[in-house]
Structure 1
C-alpha cells in the first residue's frame, strides 16, 4: 500500500512540475522553407495564388483525394475560403483563408484547424526573383499553442516535423511548374 501511495505521489508531483514548466515555456513556433523554381516570378505567383492549385502540390491536400471540400468566394482574392473535412488522421478538418495578396510578392493565409486538434496557423508564400527566369518561393508558418498544450513543444521539433512536409510540397510545386 505504501508503495502505491509513493508512486501516486511521484506521478502527481511530475504532473504538477510539468504544468509549472508549461507556464514558463515557449508557446510560439515558426517554420520557413524555400525552393528555387526555374520559371519567372509572374508565372510562379499566378499559379500559387490560387488555393485550388494546392491539390497539385500540397502534401496534406494530396493525402486524401476523397476529402470533402467547400470553396467560398473568388479564388486568388482576399477573403476566399477553402474548407476541408477528411477522415485521414493527418489531414483532419479545418479551413484556409486568403487574408492578403501583394501581386508577385506574397500571399498571406490564415489556417484554422478543428480536427485532430484546434489551432490557428498564420502562413505566407513569398516569391522573389532568383535570376532572370527563376523564382525563390519561401513558405513560412507561425502559430501559438495554448497552455498546457505548449508542453508538446518541449518534446516535439515542429520545424523538423512540419518543415519536411513543406519541403516535400515545395518540391512538388517545383515539379509541377517546371514541366
Structure 2
C-alpha cells in the first residue's frame, strides 16, 4: 500500500466566490470536469442539498468513466473538501480538496487528491506515480474551470 498526493494549481481571473460556485454544486461540474465527457451515456444521480456540505453525486458509466460517488464534506470561502469513492474500475477512497486563495484580484486554485493505493494498483504506482494517472486530468479540469469561472 502506498500513500499519495497529487496537486495542481491555476490562477483564475475571478474572485474566490465566483470560482467556488462551480465547485459546491455538482451539477456545474458538467461544465468543467475532465471526466464528464468520458461517456456520453453517463448516468448521474444527485442527492442531498443542491450545493454545499452534504451535496452528493453518484455516477455510473462505461469502462473509462467507471462507477463512483462524491460528497462535499466541508465548504468555506477558501476551501472545499470532498470524499471521493470509486467502485470501478477499482475500489478506492480519496480525499479531494480545492483551495481558493485570493491573489491579485483573482484566485489561485489548487486541486489536490490524497489517498492510499491498494492491491495491484499499489504495485503499479510504485513504478508509475499517481500524478501520471490523474495529473493531466487535473490540469485539463483546472483549465476548463478557469474558462467557465472567468466567463462569469
Question: One fold, TM greater than 0.5?
Answer: yes
Unaligned runs of 5+ in 2: none
Who is 1:116 aligned against?
A: 89
Tell me the SS of whatever aligns to 1:61. coil
TM-score of the superposition, structure 1-length normalised?
0.79
Who is 1:100 aligned against?
A: 74
Counterpart selection for 1:83 from 38, 41, 58: 58
Provide the C-alpha distance between the structure 2 equivalents of 1:86 and 1:148, rounded to a whole number of angstroms. 22
Tell me the SS of whatever aligns to 1:151. helix
Q: Shift of the alpha carbon at 1:148?
A: 5.0
More helix by proportion, 1 or 2?
A: 1
Pairing 1:159–2:131 present: yes
Q: Shift of the alpha carbon at 1:168?
A: 0.4
Q: Shift of the alpha carbon at 1:114?
A: 0.5
1:76-100: CA deviations, max 9, x gaps? 221211110001x221001011111
- Mapped contact 1:73–1:80 kept (Cα < 8 A): yes
Question: Over aligned residue pairs, what C-alpha RMSD do you find?
Answer: 1.4
- Mapped contact 2:60–2:66 kept (Cα < 8 A): yes
| Number of residue equivalences | 151
- Please list, as runs of the form range in 1=range in 2, the aligned pairs for 1:114-153 lying within 5 A after superposition: 114-132=87-105, 134-147=106-119, 149-153=121-125
TM-score of the superposition, structure 2-length normalised?
0.93
Unaligned runs of 5+ in 1: 1-25
Provide the C-alpha distance between the structure 1 equivalents of 2:101 and 2:37, rounded to a whole number of angstroms. 26
Provide the C-alpha distance between the structure 1 equivalents of 2:38 and 2:120, rounded to a whole number of angstroms. 30
- Look at both structures and tell me which one has the larger radius of gyration over its CA atoms: 1
